[in-house]
Amino acid sequence: MGCRLSSSLQARPCLPDPWSFLWGKPITSRLLSLPAGIHFRKLTLTWYHEEDLSLTMGLVEECSHTLESLDINHTVRCASIWYLRPNIQLNSVVKLGSASIDLSKAARLKDVAFRAKSQSVKWITMALHTITPEHRDLRQISIYVHLDSTTTRVGANIRQTIGEQTSGQWLNLDRLLARFWESRSIRPKVIWMAPKVGKRAMRNCIGCLLPVITMRGLIDLE
């Protein structure tokens, strides 16, 4: 799992300088075993393997009293290496299947971002379903959409292109995001990660994938 961790000076865990005992070893596991605990305010994570889910859950639970921002990049790559860069960026590259995360304990979250590198968004809906009334500070939900130019060229026929099952996942997400507006006045932000796709084609595709929030004007497109 790749992750970039941020905290204030007051919230940084006390570690021996210069973190020499962490080099070349499973960093996330070592962080979770620190006796003083960890207290990061922001986690930026990349999932490459299903075991990264349990590591993510461990990080979120350990930082549940301080965590305000969470950014998850769900991707697929192959390799297996762990290392720690001098800028305190944790990296591990392995394989990843489908998984989701329980955010119920991270009640201080202010913003969450989901980066879907595939057409499937079920994991995003599952994660958002774990948001509870205790998440009183949550103000922003961002979803980064990565669909290739071949898929987006079909425009209004995108549902047929991605298939009934995947299309159903988007519609479920659409209805859930509409409820977030109704209950919390949160306008989801959708960032289209396909620079070669025109704005009109982008809006047509998003309108098909997320019809309710699009027609009601409850979405910010970028």
Condensed to tens digits (0 to 9), the pLDDT of residues 55-93 reads: 888 889 999 999 999 999 887 543 333 333 333 333 333
* H or E element, residue 176: helix 164-184
Q: Tell me the mean pLDDT in the region 139-153.
A: 77
Tell whether the model's pLDDT for residue 15 goes beyond 80: no
- Predicted local confidence at residue 148, as pLDDT: 62
Summarised one tens digit per residue, pLDDT across range 162-189 is: 788 888 999 999 999 999 999 999 999 9
β-strand 220-221 against 81-84: which pairing, if any?
unpaired
Average confidence score pLDDT of the chain: 76
Q: How far apart are CA 203 and CA 193, in angstroms?
A: 13
DSSP, collapsed to helix, strand or coil, labels residue 52 as: helix
Cross-sheet strand order for the sheet of 2-6: 81-84, 89-93, 2-6, 42-47, 69-74, 111-116, 140-145, 189-192, 220-221
- Predicted local confidence at residue 204, as pLDDT: 83
Tell whether the model's pLDDT for residue 14 goes beyond 50: no
The values of phi and psi at residue 97, to 5°, are -100, -150
Best-predicted range by mean pLDDT (21-35, 87-101, 150-164, 194-208): 194-208
CB 157 within 8 A of CB 204: no
Tell whether the model's pLDDT for residue 18 goes beyond 70: no
Q: How far apart are CA 82 and CA 24, in angstroms?
A: 6
Tell whether the model's pLDDT for residue 194 goes beyond 80: no
Q: How far apart are CA 53 and CA 51, in angstroms?
A: 5
Q: Token pair of 18, please?
A: 């210069």
Q: How far apart are CA 38 and CA 63, in angstroms?
A: 6
89 compared with 213, residue with greater pLDDT: 213
CB 35 within 8 A of CB 62: no
